[in-house]
Amino acid sequence: MTATDISVLNSALERLNADESVLRLSETEAEARSGYQPTADDSEPERMIMNMGPQHPSTHGVLRLVLELEGETIRRSKPVIGYLHTGMEKTGENLTYLQGPTNVTRMDYVSPLFTELAFSMATEALLGIEVPERGQWIRMLMTEVNRISSHLLFLATNGMDLGAVGMMIYGWREREETLRFLEAVTGLRMNHNYIRPGGVAADLPGGWEDELTALIDVIPGRLEEFDLLMTGQPIWRGRLQGVGVITAEEAISLGTTGPILRSTGFAWDLRREQPYLYYDQMDFDVIVGTFGDCYDRYAIRLQEIRESIRIIRQIMERMPEGDYKVQDKKVTPPPRARIDESMEALIHHFKIYTEGYKVPEGEVYVAVESPRGELGCYMVSDGEGKPYRMHIREPSFVNLQTLPHLMKDSFLADTVAIISSVDPIMGGVDR
Amino acid sequence: MSVARLVDSVGPLAAAVGGDPLLSGEVDLTVVLIVLLKVLVIFVGILVGVILMVWFERKLISDMQNRIGPNRAGPFGLLQTVADGMKLIFKEDLIPEKSDRFVFALAPFLSLVPAFLTFAIVPLAGNFNDDLGGTVEILGHKTFMQLADPQVGILWFLVMSSIAIYGVMLAGWASGSKYPLLGSVRATAQMISYEAALGLSLATVLLLSGTLSTNGIVRAQSGWEWNIWMTGIVPFVIFVIAATAELNRPPFDLVEAEQELVGGFQTEYSSFRFAMFYLAEFLNTVTMSAIIVTLFFGGPAGPTFGLTNWVGVYVLPFVWFFAKMFVFLCMFVAFRATLPRFRYDQVMDLGWKVLIPLALAWFLVLAGVRVAADQGWNALAVIGAGCAGIMAGGGLLLLALKSSQAKRLAADSAAAERSALKQTGGVR
């Protein structure tokens, strides 16, 4: 039997339900539970309900957890989300497809290019246009750099959450260097609005190879330092190994993807399973763990940085010349200089920036592998210039529901290790 | 020696203040003035020292972490601590509604005062090289360069660090809030456990020195017979680990673990009360470094190049003392900059299953070696027998651990199931 058999998944779900790690209540059941108090019975150890967040140093933004503690042991927990909800999906329905990326890039602000990519790919699928080769390669390059910066942020916060405060600064330092490259290309450190339907916003600047080579030459050495500082460190291992264990079928039945699913030994990476862009031509390894614990998730992310560097080297070798965005005048705004010369260009410019281009009726789901897992964009078009419905499947949001299961019967000190290893970005969770 | 006999033999005053020749004679105005002068110098000195220590720690950590650190207030940011202190004093002094007001107000003092008092027994200078025994002459009176040298000596240090636990414990308890409560529960268990390891590793030093008096301990180490190698390094390592835990400094800072408990026992404290905890923490760091130097590194002992004037008596010994202390201050800072934090149960495991048995075993072997030297037995045979005994004891301990673990797994079927699941890679 494999982990994906439906009977195995069902039994996993039953187990999660029995553990109260997943609660599905009807309204009457919920009513009966309202005003719940932990046991005051003398026969059982006394329990205490503690609130963690939304203002707490290590809940990664505004995550709130309600913990039921027995001493320092967590018996039950409940994540509460929504403190950062700004209705971005609804906002997306009022923005043209050209404006869309500015909106979605603010969801997962640590890996913004992936959300832009998913949005753009969904739009292109509806439009039925093919992005020029160079545009696709640039997209691949930039998202891999972004993956590195996102994983570096994870390493930084994971170190800090476990008390290794130095690690936070080191991770941040390296991330800053990758952000510098992103800034050189896109003009912004975050919220790039770089990948747009039809291609990318701008070509790679002159000298990008040197800058990128300098970056990917320096990072492997720094990763060795991280290994020295953390990977082999006995306290570090003691804090992470065997903490927050999840099995493959539990992870699948909770819809988990990304490093959490791979840490269970289940090799699921969309770059390999459903190749998009040119990942089918890339030579890289999908990193998997064995035990599904926090340590595996840490090691996977560390190792994925090395794999990303491998991919980047291959991309740099094979980067073709040519257009970086599609030469379809109905989709791509004309260059500024053309507007002075051509009436057509002026009209196109005006139309695209006011009412946007019309996208044929239909619906589509496109998924990419973000640093946190499957990031999908579900788009419905009614033939107008704005999406009828735009939904982003955020891996942070889906992964977050593993928390009650991972935390069950662990220590209070483990909560921070576990939250950190799930690596939720609250901007993406709440949207 | 019982207390009564001690008092009988040397008189009540000397029993309390110990072997300081200053107080063995007649107590006149000069003597009182000398004592007051010492109090003033040590109090002011340590206060300034702590202010510099806070600055130094922040600066050193900044260097280790690619940052600049405090550099605004005063030259090189030296006055940053003063500025922080001023800010804290002028802040509103909040006392939570649900707190026990009296205990809440008392706790910072319980933390700060012992930190000051411990420093009284540390010999800061004085020439230990010849027969002077660390005495210096001030205004025609012979005296030690330490505030007091009680017969109970190093026990004073243990007593004070035990009282400081009350400060932390009561602070969390009286706050009437959940995070501080958890912090204080952790603090109590951790500090009491490590007190045991601290005491046991300290016992080896006392065994060699044959005295509790800090002056006597330093004197016993003169001529490079420092306790670190005389006791065989292991007690020193245990002492440093236990001292770090006692200080609640990283990697043992679970009491105030910011990432878990926000601020631990001091979450609800603000204004000057918070400043007192903060001060006590750094004061304890300085004091603990001084105690380590006194116990294991011969205190102010070091080459004085035959000088017997004020340079050889005051300056050089103090320089040696400070240099040794500085190494440990740097060590504590480096711990903080690099190490991840232990978990509560791991701290307890380390304390009870490793440090305490090891310290006890080492103490017994060392005692055996001493007896062997007295009786003229073969030292190697004694060490061999001792090691065999330790291994047997360690084996028994390990066996007990394994069996209790197996019993616990059998009792808790859910945990057993989970560990079985882990071995099959997640598929049943």
A36 in a structural domain: no
Low-confidence ranges of chain B (pLDDT < 70): 1-19, 25, 129-134, 257-259, 412-428
pLDDT value for A244: 86
Within 8 A of A411 by CB-CB distance, chain B residues are 343-345
In angstroms, the CA B324 to CA B322 distance is 5
Residues from chain B that touch A419, judged by Cβ atoms under 8 A, are none
Q: Tell me, yes or no, whether A10 lies in a domain.
A: no
Contact across the interface for A170 and B66, Cβ inside 8 Å: yes
Under the banding of pLDDT at 50, 70 and 90, the label for residue A12 is confident
Cβ contacts of A16 on chain B, cutoff 8 Å: none
B contacts of A72 (beta carbons < 8 Å): 182, 185-186, 344
A43 band by pLDDT with thresholds 50, 70 and 90 = low
Cβ of A248 under 8 Å from any chain B Cβ?
yes
**pTM (two decimals):** 0.86
- Model confidence at A39, pLDDT cuts 50, 70, 90, reads low
- From the list B178, B250, B418, which residue is nearest A163 (CB)? B250
Contact B415 A412 (CB under 8 A): no
Asked if residues B350 and B331 have their Cβ atoms less than 8 Å apart, the reply is no
pLDDT category of residue A366 using cuts at 50, 70 and 90: very high
3-state secondary structure (DSSP) of residue B83: helix
Q: Give the pLDDT of residue B426.
A: 42
A431 domain residue, yes or no: no
Q: Of A48, A163, A247, which has the smallest distance from its Cβ to B340's Cβ?
A: A163
Please tell me whether the peptide bond between B357 and the residue prior to it is cis, using omega within 30 degrees of 0.
no
Picking from B254, B343, B347, B409 by the largest number of A CB atoms within 10 A of its own CB, the best residue to mutate is B343
Cβ contact, residue pair B344, A162, below 8 Å: no
Task: Assign residue A134 the CATH number of its domain.
Answer: 1.10.645.10
Task: Report how many domains make up chain A.
Answer: 1
**Domain of A191, in residue numbers:** 88-401
* Chain B interface with A: residues with Cβ < 8 Å: 61, 64-67, 178-179, 182, 185-186, 250-251, 253-254, 257-262, 336-346, 414-415, 418, 421-422, 425-428
- CB spacing of A57 vs B422 below 8 angstroms: no
Asked if residue A426 belongs to a domain, the reply is: no
Classify A407 as helix, strand or coil: helix
Q: What is the pLDDT of residue B425?
A: 43
Is position A49 within any domain? no
Span A9-20, average pLDDT: 79
* CB spacing of B339 vs A164 below 8 angstroms: yes
Q: Tell me, what's the pLDDT at A38?
A: 64
Q: What is the DSSP string of B272-328?
A: HHHHHHHHHHHHHHHHHHHHHHHHHS-TT-S--TT--SHIIIIIHHHHHHHHHHHHH
Q: Is B299 left (phi over 0), alpha (psi -120 to 50) or beta?
A: left
Q: Which residue of B has its CA nearest to A168?
A: B65
Q: Which residues in chain B are closer than 8 Å to A57, comparing Cβ atoms?
A: 258-259, 262
| Span A244-302, pLDDT tens digits | 888 888 888 888 999 999 998 888 889 888 888 889 898 988 998 888 888 999 999 99
CB contact under 8 A, B426 and A249: yes
In a domain, A139, yes or no: yes
Two tokens, residue A314: 């291959």
Whether residues B259 and A170 touch (CB distance < 8 A) is answered with: no
Question: Which three-class secondary structure state does DSSP give residue A353?
Answer: helix
HEC string for B169-230 = HHHHHHCCCHHHHHHHHHHHHHHHHHHHHHHHHHHHHHHHHCCCCHHHHHHHCCCCCCHHHH
Listed residue (A171, A234, A114, A109) closest to B251, CA to CA: A234
Quote the CA–CA distance of A51 and B157 in Å, as a whole number: 39
Structure tokens at B326: 């500085």
Question: Lowest-pLDDT range, A169-178, A225-234, B216-225?
Answer: B216-225
Q: Indicate yes or no: CB of B182 within 8 angstroms of CB of A72.
A: yes
Tell me the mean pLDDT in the region A141-149: 93
Q: Is the pLDDT of residue A209 over 50?
A: yes
- How far apart CA A104 and CA A114 sit, in angstroms, is 10
- A201 touching B (Cβ < 8 Å): no
Place of tokens 């800061």: B124
pLDDT of residue B428: 36
Cβ pair B259:A48 closer than 8 A: no
Least-confidence region, from A60-64, A211-215, A233-237, B252-256: B252-256
For A300-359, what is each residue's pLDDT tens digit? 999 999 999 999 999 999 988 888 888 888 888 888 888 888 888 888 888 888 888 888
**Residue A386 corresponds to which amino acid?**
K
**Is residue A19 included in any domain, yes or no?**
no
Q: Do B426 and A264 touch (CB under 8 A)?
A: yes
What is the predicted pLDDT for the residue at B163?
87
More confident residue, B165 or A114: A114
* Chain A / chain B CB contacts < 8 angstroms: 117
**Rounded to a whole number, what is the distance in angstroms from the first to the last CA of chain A?**
38
